Amino acid sequence: MRITQFADFAESAGHTSIAIPFHNHLTAEEIGYVAGVLERALREVQ
């Protein structure tokens, strides 16, 4: 794969993926917040 092909792929992937916080020190409140935001976002795209 050439560099430009990879760059095109990476840009395309960025438009169709999400990154959510994930580490061992999230509090229950932070998890609830992230889950709520994700739930609202999913409802918007349906």
pLDDT of residue 14: 76
Q: Is residue 8 part of a domain?
A: no
- Could you tell me where the DSSP H helices lie in the chain? 3-15, 28-45
Q: How far apart (Å, rounded) are the C-alpha atoms in residues 6 and 18?
A: 19
Count of structural domains, the chain: 1
Listed residue (12, 17, 25) closest to 41, CA to CA: 17
In a domain, 3, yes or no: no
State residue 27's pLDDT score.
94
In a domain, 41, yes or no: yes
* 4 is a domain residue: no
Range of the domain at 43: 20-46
Contact 34, 20 (CB under 8 A): yes
Asked whether residue 14 is assigned to any structural domain, the reply reads no
C-alpha–C-alpha distance, residues 27 and 23, integer Å: 10
15 lies in some domain: no
In a domain, 36, yes or no: yes
Domain membership of residue 31 (yes or no) is yes
pLDDT tens across 2-37, in order?
778 878 888 887 777 888 888 889 999 999 999 999
As a whole number of angstroms, the distance between CA 12 and CA 17 comes to: 9
